[in-house]
């Protein structure tokens, strides 16, 4: 079977160096194995998404030397490639989950959910697990609450341990009680990331999902949806995040490291690729290099483990056109 990977950015802000690393790694994975590469715009969160950011994303990626076989501007057999145009598919998935009795309405208020979130729950990017307050409401209780509040829809997460093999981090296991039931459609009608990404990856035939480590604990939730919907799950691999000396994760708020600002500053894309390749461990020293020149040497086994630090010395090298 032909392998297929993807990069799926959210157009809520400009792409930065950390986003570029995820895109480069996913692109190299597919170009190395001769697979197909898909670009999908995850604009399901309409209030936060901006068409201008989506357009800039395409420009930034091409500037870096990355291309794609299918995408919003190139088309393909799995169009459309913008989540905002795929909502009918998500509703079909919800219909199937309803038939399986795997959904229930949740009437919890923001204050109740905030109280849950304030409880100690580790460092999960998913926040505190939902304790199932609305899972076993009677029909009468649901009808009474529905008079006051439109509900969200939650998926009944299977109990017990959930394990999978990550292509970089190795075997991962999550206890059932640490996961909790999660929202698949919000009260305002917006579909959740977990549902949309699962449906899209399955329908687009994605076999390999390579993404940032911040989404590692989303995987067991998505695997539960794959199983419930009888869809084939891809292989998952989660790459380390890039941070600086003060923060473990770069932010879109740091305008100096957005790809658009680096382009405007006259930084050559080869310097950005070289910086990322050095941080990843694919080359021994930071030096300008084209993305295409890394294809032959790419392998996840050579990827550095742990957090990757964009030090002040590396920042100086990046902005010093005569450095390296």
User: For residue 302, what pLDDT is reported?
Assistant: 74
User: For residue 120, what pLDDT is reported?
Assistant: 44
| Residue 236, helix vs strand vs coil | strand
Averaged pLDDT for residues 60-88: 97
User: For residue 127, what pLDDT is reported?
Assistant: 65
Q: What is the dihedral of CA 188, 193, 199, 200, to 10 degrees?
A: 110
User: For residue 231, what pLDDT is reported?
Assistant: 98
| Span of 109-123, 136-150, 169-183 with lowest mean pLDDT | 109-123
Mean pLDDT of the chain: 91
Name which CATH class applies to 87-194.
Answer: alpha beta
Percent of the chain with pLDDT over 70: 93
User: For residue 287, what pLDDT is reported?
Assistant: 96
User: For residue 260, what pLDDT is reported?
Assistant: 95
For the stretch 12-46, pLDDT in tens is 999 999 999 999 999 999 999 999 999 999 999 99
> Above 50 in pLDDT, residue 62?
yes
The residue extents of the domains of the chain are: 4-82+200-225+238-319, 87-194
> Above 90 in pLDDT, residue 83?
yes
Considering the domain delimited by 4-82+200-225+238-319, tell me its CATH architecture: 3-Layer(aba) Sandwich (3.40)
Do the domains spanning 4-82+200-225+238-319 and 87-194 agree at the CATH topology level? no
Measure the CA–CA gap between 117 and 120, rounded to whole angstroms: 8
> Above 50 in pLDDT, residue 121?
no
User: For residue 321, what pLDDT is reported?
Assistant: 63
What pTM, to 2 d.p., does this model score?
A: 0.92
Measure the CA–CA gap between 138 and 143, rounded to whole angstroms: 9
DSSP state of 119: S
CB neighbours of residue 15 within 10 Å: 23
Residue 36 has φ and ψ, to the nearest 5°, of -90, 145
């Amino acid at each position: 079977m032909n392998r297929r990977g993807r990069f799926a950015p959210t157009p809520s802000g400009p792409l930065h160096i950390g986003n570029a690393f995820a895109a480069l790694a996913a692109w190299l994975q597919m170009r190395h194995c001769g697979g197909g590469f898909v670009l999908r715009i995850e604009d399901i969160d309409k209030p936060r998404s901006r068409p201008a950011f989506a357009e800039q994303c395409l420009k930034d990626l091409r500037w870096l030397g990355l291309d794609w076989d299918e995408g919003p501007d190139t088309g393909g057999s799995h169009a459309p490639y913008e989540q905002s145009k795929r909502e009918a598919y998500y509703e079909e998935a919800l219909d199937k989950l309803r038939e399986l009795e795997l959904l229930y309405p949740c009437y919890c208020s923001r204050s109740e959910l905030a109280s849950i979130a304030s409880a100690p729950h580790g460092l999960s990017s998913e926040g505190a697990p939902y304790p199932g307050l609305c899972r076993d409401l009677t029909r009468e209780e649901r009808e009474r609450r529905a008079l006051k509040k439109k509900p969200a829809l939650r998926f009944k997460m299977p109990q017990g341990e959930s394990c999978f093999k990550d292509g970089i981090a190795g075997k991962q296991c999550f206890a059932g009680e640490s996961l909790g039931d999660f929202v698949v459609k919000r009260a305002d009608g917006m579909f959740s990331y977990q549902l949309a990404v699962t449906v899209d990856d399955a329908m687009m035939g994605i076999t390999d999902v390579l993404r940032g480590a911040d989404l590692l604990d989303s995987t067991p939730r998505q695997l539960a949806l794959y199983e419930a919907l009888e869809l084939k799950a891809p292989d998952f691999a989660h790459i380390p995040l890039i941070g600086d000396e003060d923060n473990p994760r770069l932010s879109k708020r740091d305008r100096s490291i957005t790809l658009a600002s680096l382009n405007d500053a006259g930084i050559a894309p080869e310097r950005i690729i070289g910086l990322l390749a050095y941080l990843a461990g694919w080359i021994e020293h930071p030096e300008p290099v084209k993305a295409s020149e890394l294809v032959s040497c790419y392998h996840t086994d050579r990827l550095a483990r742990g957090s990757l630090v964009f030090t002040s010395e590396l920042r100086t090298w990046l902005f010093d056109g005569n450095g390296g």
